[in-house]
Amino acid sequence: MKRVLITGAAGFIGSHLSDRFIREGYLVIGMDNLLTGSLDNIEHLFKLKEFDFYHHDVSKFVHVPGHLDYILHFASPASPIDYLQMPIQTLKVGSLGTHNLLGLAKEKKARILIASTSEVYGDPLEHPQKETYWGNVNPIGPRGVYDEAKRFQEAITMAYHTYHGLETRIVRIFNTYGPRMRVNDGRVLPAFFSQAIRGEGLTVFGDGEQTRSFCYVDDLVEGIYRLLLSDYNQPVNIGNPAEITIMDFAREILRLVDNPKAFIDYRPLPVDDPKQRQPDITVARKVLDWEPRIDRVEGLARTYEYFKTVVTPG
């Protein structure tokens, strides 16, 4: 059986990837320091002989006994609240952590896929964003620790590919949602669902005209799986191009949750908050024959069922 190491395995996306690879017949080694991940996300896997877990910080030396066929590097704080509170850890996992895992991949002769992000485009001046766009990033702004960690991560990954001939893959992930998102991680979807269920104000920054594009996690995992097994070594956007304003999104959540106590609460726009975010997925369609299948209506309904189990109504 093929073995895959998934870092950040106890996180939102990492746990769904662990599920997928086990279903595909792989032996999965999950690794996480539980800084932002939760064992609740992978508790159902501990009874399986196909799953093993290492409690470890990849910013320190990484050793895994035995052979490895693939490494998926998804360890990192990934929400503004997290990386504003943990700026040094965010930079270290993107730099030292990536360096350690690239070294492990070289030692094991394994193919490695690293999780980059749409944040490498910053507050984009190009819309929608193609992989060829270099971005508009403030390196010393409050979001810079995450943006630049991911940009460095891409740079060192390509350096290992070109210098050492390492088999590498880079996925640029756009806004993703679904079950197992942390309730208080600060991102717009868990915030809106939690606030609506509790009967609180849905926090809309600025005038709410900034846009986002939301991809359901099952679609994302499918895209990542296809990219890993492809022969394509350049960055690939994986996301849903269906763009919506934050204001309209708040209204969708209010209609779905239908809590008369909930309302829209306007707040000042944070520094360097992107005004537009929409992936151009031409490359994914052409190279991976991939595009999202689950529309926002279905995806939000599934996600709402999850949040009803973890948020106390108000």
The verdict on whether 146 is a catalytic residue reads yes
Residue 300, Ramachandran bin (φ over 0: left; ψ between -120 and 50: alpha; else beta): alpha
Residues 51 and 22: their CA atoms lie apart, in Å, by: 8
Give alpha helix (H) positions in the chain: 12-23, 80-85, 87-92, 98-108, 144-164, 188-198, 217-229, 246-257, 282-288, 296-310
The residue written with tokens 């320190």 in the block is 60
* DSSP-derived 3-state class of residue 236: strand
Q: What is the C-alpha separation between 300 and 307, in angstroms, rounded?
A: 10
Residue 38 token pair: 């939760």
Identify which of 307, 246, 234 has the alpha carbon closest to the alpha carbon of residue 277. 246
Report residue 119 as tokens: 């944040």
CA distances (Å), origin 210, targets 97, 134, 230, 243, 246: 33, 21, 34, 10, 6
| Crossing angle of the two packed helices 188-198 and 246-257, in degrees rounded to 10 | 40
- Catalytic site residue from 70, 83, 121, 146: 146
Task: List, by residue number, the catalytic residues.
Answer: 146
